[in-house]
Structures are given as structure tokens and as C-alpha cells.
Amino acid sequence: MTPATARNTEPLSPLARIRHDVQSMHAYAVQDAAGLLKMDAMENPHRLPAALQAELGLRLGAVAINRYPGACVDELKAALNDHAAPPPGWSLMLGNGSDELISLLALACDVPGASILAPVPGFVMYALSAQLQGLAFHGVPLTADFALDEAAMLAAIAQHRPAIVYLAYPNNPTGTLWDAAVIERLIAAQGAQGGLVVMDEAYQPFAARSWIDNVRAAPDRHGHVLVMRTLSKFGLAGVRIGYLMGDAALIGQIDKVRPPYNISVLNAECALFALEHADVFAAQALDIQAQRALLFEALGQLPGVTAYPSQGNMILVRVPDAARVFSGMKARHVLIKNVSTMHPLLDNCVRLTVGTAEENAQMLAALQASL
């Protein structure tokens, strides 16, 4: 056997079948929170009252888990439609959290030359979904105070003619609820070139406004606009339910790329139960908003700390040394998110989840000791 023949018989690594750009990527990182106060992921800190836990347990025990999801998913869609109250002519589709919906949108809009555009810093899944689907992503920097740069956004829409413009309302990680008049003009510009706008309302339970009100007031100007929400911040982060609302014809096309049975019967039943007790979750959201105001005020008293106004259940904070604060707080058993390397505008910034009064006190003490 010649050396060349010997080389040809050597087995190739199956890794060679994995896309090179995927191999060079970093996986979405979930921080290990064992033994720590978990204040890094914008989760609702409140659990169900004991009586409702017991009631939910009975409901889930009766679910026919031997059957594929069917009627319960349709019931959930109807319940979410009643809860969100989109305008006539709109419908909704379900996703395994907003993350799946973002991926499905990229898949559905993957035509030659298509791209995705969003302000940055923003939710990392917009860019990641574009990359995985082979689409270009155009990030348009916010202003220094985390407002939309209207001129830059309009120029980018005109230049790139993106298939999708994402506008998080409010934004993650900054918590900003952007100027409505600016958003209206961006929506008009994107509509004029035949693109979609996705208003990402993941943090809607804690915000002073929802874009769905603008849609109801002027549905004729929003035929190309989709409103995306999730039940994760509502209080069901472990259940993984997202939903996308829009003109029925648009949703009907996007829904074609959704995997069958993407929502489990257990998740659907949990979500139905939560919506039946929406008043409990609304009270939790009000408490989180109140705690957010107290936390923001307390942060303003710390020397060297700049806290940015937020309409989410998190507060972005600029500190003298983000890495030192992060490690110092972790050593004091409090886990936060160091976002300082996400974008130059976030230099030395950390993101704090708003928790209960007790959790916020512990977090503040750890922050003060770590400065």
C-alpha cells in the first residue's frame, strides 16, 4: 500500500461535517448559579402561592402526556389572544420561548440577499439567528444615553433594505423604552421598502406602555409589524412559551416553518393555568416595578455608580470596574451579569435583575462591598 493510499483510508473526523462558522462560535452561556443568589437572568423572583402550586400539580397530573399536543395548544392560543387583545384581522403563533420565534423568523425570511437589522447593544439572539441562517446582520449603535439613533437607523434601512428590523420595547440590556415618535418613523421607513418590523415586548409586564396600543389605534400603518411576547418574564421562565402576533396572512406564512408539536402539553397546560390566574402574576409585576424604583433610588446613593432608568425587570449599572464588581459580588454569593464586553457602549456595565426586597438588599450590600 502506498503512503497516499494509506492516507486515504484514514477515517475523517465527523467534526468535519459541522459548519466551520459554527465550530468557531461560542455557545450561549448560562452561568452556574449553584449556591448563589441568582440575579443575572431577569427572572420573576416570585413563586406560585402554595395553594396554586397544589392546584397546578393536580392539573398537570391529569394531562394526557401519552398524546401529541392538540386541543390544549389551540386553547392556549385563544387564551393568549384574549389576554393580549390584538386588533381584528390579527392572529398569533406559538414558539418554545421567544428564542425559537426569532429563529423561525430568520428561517422564513431567508431569501437571497436578505438581512436583519437591529439597534445595538440589544438582545444577542437577533444577530445569532441571522448568523445561523446565513443572513447578514446589521447592528446600528444606540446613542451614548441608549436612545435610538434615528438618522443612523433610517440610513441603515435605506442602505441595507433588511427583511426584518427588530425593536425591543423595552430594550435588553438597557431597559430603555424608546421614543414612540421615532419608532413610528422607523416603522414607516421599513414598510416603505417592504420589510417587517418585530416589536419585541419580552419585558411588557413591567413597562409603562405596550406597542399593541399603537397597533390598535392605527392598524392600517402596522400591516408589516409583528409584536412578539413571552411568558418568561410574566413569571413562567421555566415553561418556555413565546408568542408572535401579526396580520393573519403574515402569521399564516411564518407558521409554516414552525416544527409540529413545538409546544408540549405540560407547557401549554401550565400557561393556561397562569392565564386563568393572571391577577396573581399582575400583582407580582406591580411588586417588581415598586422594587425597581426603590433599587434605582438606592443605586443612586452609591459613589461611582451610574444607574440607567429602566422599564424592564433589570437595571443597567455602570461601575468603575465591572470585572472586579462581578467577581466581588460572586465571592459574596450574588450572581449578576457582566455585560461590559458585549458592546463598547456598555464599557464597565453590569446588569442587575430586580428581585424581592430581601434579594435586592443582599445584592446592594454585595455591590457596595465590591466597589
Q: Do 232 and 292 share a domain, yes or no?
A: no
Residue at which a domain ends, from 276, 308, 327: 276
Per the structure block, which three cell numbers stand in for 150? 434615528
Q: Are residues 295 and 355 in the same domain?
A: yes
Buried b or exposed e, range 308-320, using 16+ CB within 10 angstroms:
bebbbbbbbbbbe
Cell of 120: 445595538
Type of residue numbered 307: A
Amino acid identity of residue 303, one-letter, is P
243 shares its domain with 304? no
Which residues contact residue 231 at a Cβ distance below 8 angstroms, ignoring those fewer than 6 apart? 239, 241, 242, 243, 271, 274
Going by the DSSP 8-state scheme, the letter that residue 221 receives in this structure is: G
Report if residue 88 sits inside a domain: yes
> Is position 156 within any domain?
yes
In a domain, 24, yes or no: no
Cell matching residue 118: 437591529
CB-side neighbour CA atoms (13 Å) of 75: 14
Instruction: Check whether residue 247 and residue 335 sit in a common domain.
Output: no
For residue 141, the domain's CATH number is 3.40.640.10
**Domain boundary residue among 210, 243, 276?**
276
Domain termination residue (choose one: 220, 251, 276): 276
Q: pLDDT of the chain along its 371 residues, tens only?
A: 555 555 566 778 898 888 888 888 887 778 888 899 999 999 999 999 999 999 999 999 999 999 999 999 999 999 999 999 999 999 999 999 999 999 999 999 999 999 999 999 999 999 999 999 999 999 999 999 999 999 999 999 999 999 999 999 999 999 999 999 999 999 999 999 999 999 999 999 999 999 999 999 999 999 999 999 999 999 999 999 999 999 999 999 999 999 999 999 999 999 999 999 999 999 999 999 999 999 999 999 999 999 999 999 999 999 999 999 999 999 999 999 999 999 999 999 999 999 999 999 999 999 999 99
The CATH number for 354's domain is: 3.90.1150.10
Residue 21 lies in a domain: no
- The predicted structure's pLDDT at residue 352: 98
In a domain, 342, yes or no: yes
Which of 339, 342, 332 has the alpha carbon at shortest distance from 318?
339
Cell of 308: 440607567
**Is the bond preceding residue 14 a cis peptide, omega within 30 degrees?**
no
Cis-peptide into 162, omega within 30 deg: no
Are 139 and 220 members of one domain?
yes
* Matching residue, cell 384581522: 89
Q: CA-CA distance, 141 to 118, in Å (whole number)? A: 9
- Whether residue 57 lies inside any domain: the answer is no
- For residues 39 and 69, membership in a common domain is answered with no
Cβ proximity of 243 and 258 under 8 Å: no
Please tell me whether residues 84 and 210 are part of one structural domain: yes
Range of the domain at 175: 64-276
Instruction: State how many domains the chain has.
Output: 2
Task: Check: CB of residue 84 under 8 Å from CB of residue 212.
Answer: yes
In the prediction, which pLDDT does 27 show? 78
Same domain (yes/no): 351, 228: no
**How many residues would you count in the chain?**
371
Residues 331 and 232 in one domain: no
Q: What does DSSP say about strands 115-120 and 164-168: parallel, antiparallel, or unpaired?
A: parallel
State the alpha helices, DSSP H only, in the chain.
Answer: 3-9, 20-23, 50-61, 71-84, 97-108, 124-133, 150-160, 180-192, 211-217, 248-254, 265-276, 278-299, 322-331, 357-370
Whole-prediction pTM value? 0.93
Q: In degrees, to the nearest 5, what angle opens at C-alpha 265 toward C-alphas 100 and 91?
A: 55
Q: Would residue 283 count as lying in a domain?
A: yes
With respect to residue 22, please indicate whether it lies within any of the assigned structural domains.
no
- Claim to verify: residue 239 and residue 127 sit in the same structural domain: yes
8 Å CB contact between 257 and 108? yes
d(CA 292, CA 203): 13
Grid coordinates given for 133:
441562517
Shared domain for 187 and 326, answered yes or no, is no
- Asked whether residue 90 falls in the same domain as residue 228, the answer is yes
What whole-number distance in Å separates Cα of residue 147 and Cα of residue 135? 26
pLDDT at 33: 84
